[in-house]
Amino acid sequence: MKLKLKNVFLAYFLVSIAGLLYALVQLGQPCDCLPPLRAAAEQLRQKDLRISQLQADLRRPPPVPAQPPEPEALPTIYVITPTYARLVQKAELVRLSQTLSLVPRLHWLLVEDAESPTPLVSGLLAASGLLFTHLAVLTPKAQRLREGEPGWVRPRGVEQRNKALDWLRGKGGAVAGEKDPPPPGTQGVVYFADDDNTYSRELFKEMRWTRGVSVWPVGLVGGLRFEGPQVQDGRVVGFHTAWEPNRPFPLDMAGFAVALPLLLAKPNAQFDATAPRGHLESSLLSHLVDPKDLEPRAANCTQVLVWHTRTEKPKMKQEEQLQRQGQGSDPAIEV
């Protein structure tokens, strides 16, 4: 029994010595654990470098934004607005004037349908803070709407728009405000803005650099959500409209602007009061441009920036009743 235990102990001892010798030999062999360690160290280094870059970016002052052109360097926008006396006239003109006041380098040509300027419009212009020219011309009786006729039967504002074009061409007629027309060589654009529409100020940014005739959609017009040019590859190829789509220029008055030099170079271009219904815009544009040369604006005519809104005619039954009783509203208070 003692001999057997001694043999077991000796065998265990020899195995242990052999294991120890093997371990000592392996300590001198190359280890394949270095590549993973090097990769981990490189990842840490890259993260530290990225953190240092982000910290440097945070300490760096923000870039100076690009400065917009000075107002004096911008082409002038000449906005032509015909207007006529009615209960909502002042409300419409106040709203429009406050939109126009947001636009730099703008000249408002306000033309009254009257023999002479009225105190209401004169006072509004004087208080507007805008550069303006006040004109007045009465629509001939033969062209005026008759009692009960719908507004679309006869074109309105024809004489007034043509009066403004005459002033731009140096034919005078201003009754107040700036009386001298733009000097030769003036860079500008002409836009016809009725007093009852709604305008985004972004629209005026779109039209300012017009080279010939620029166009865009108009909302809430022609019985549609919007109507306007159809554009393909940056060119006008047709028009989205429902009424008389074969008109030369099926556009709303609010849907185009004309470069001032082009208008001045075409002295015979004006609106025709005898044009068929819906052809008033075409009567001017046909003298100025070919449809294929129209300049699409408003993201290739995919944005609506002007709306053909109309103010509801106020109901004055109570006012009329009080007037019959001699108790009507004070006429000295301007509305």
Question: Has 50 been labeled as part of a binding site?
Answer: no
258: DSSP letter: E
CA distance 54 to 51: 5
Please identify which of the residues 202, 281, 319, 320 carries the catalytic annotation. 281
| Structure token pair of residue 49 | 């470098």
Question: Has 196 been labeled as part of a binding site?
Answer: yes
Question: Has 308 been labeled as part of a binding site?
Answer: yes
Tokens 């015979």 belong to residue: 268
Active site residue 281: yes
Q: Are strands 295-296 and 213-215 parallel, antiparallel or unpaired?
A: parallel
Question: Has 310 been labeled as part of a binding site?
Answer: yes
328: DSSP letter: -
Question: Has 83 been labeled as part of a binding site?
Answer: yes
CA distance 243 to 277: 11
Question: Has 293 been labeled as part of a binding site?
Answer: no
Question: Has 330 been labeled as part of a binding site?
Answer: no
142: DSSP letter: G
At residue 79's C-alpha, the angle toward residues 73 and 81, to 5°, is 170
CA distance 298 to 242: 21
296 strand-pairing partners: 215
Residue count (the chain): 335
Question: Has 201 been labeled as part of a binding site?
Answer: no
Tokens 């006072």 belong to residue: 123
Question: Has 161 been labeled as part of a binding site?
Answer: yes
Computed on alpha carbons and rounded to an integer, the radius of gyration of the chain in Å comes to 39
Question: Has 156 been labeled as part of a binding site?
Answer: yes
Q: Which residues are catalytic?
A: 281
* Annotated binding-site positions for UDP-alpha-D-glucuronate: 82-84, 113, 156, 161, 194-196, 308-310
* Annotated binding-site positions: 82-84, 113, 156, 161, 194-196, 308-310
* Annotated binding-site positions for Mn(2+): 196
